[in-house]
Amino acid sequence: MFTVTNKAVEEIRRLLNEEDMPNAVLRVRVVPGGCSGFSYEMGFDDETEESDQVIENEGVMVAIDELSFPYLEGAVLDYKDGLNGTGFSINNPNAKGSCGCGSSFTA
């Protein structure tokens, strides 16, 4: 299971409206790279693939491709807007370590 918090849903919905893309999905991927081996990529997509895992929360859709899903199973997508930084974050129980800047992880 991959969870999207209500705060993340609100921000995704706001961005979709801002970009005038009401039917798009947020695609979350794990890609090779970063100083620890893997990093996350997120962006809007107009289509989903049959093999995607699609998570729906309050009408907002998040798609994860079949290669990325094992790395993200059990993870939580959140949105933070506080003094310690603003943006999306992924709390991933599969990450065994991360780099000092927090933008990549090891599995």
Tell me how crowded residue 92 is: count the other CB atoms within 10 A of its CB: 21
CATH architecture of 3-106: Sandwich (2.60)
pLDDT digits (tens, 9 = 90+) for 62-75: 999 999 999 999 99
Using CA atoms, how far apart are residues 27 and 62, in angstroms rounded to an integer?
A: 6
Partners of 86 in beta bridges: 81
pLDDT digits (tens, 9 = 90+) for 29-55: 998 876 657 888 999 999 999 999 999
Task: Say if residues 84 and 67 touch (Cβ distance below 8 Å).
Answer: no
Residue carrying the six token digits 């794990």: 30
Using CA atoms, how far apart are residues 107 and 95, in angstroms rounded to an integer?
A: 5
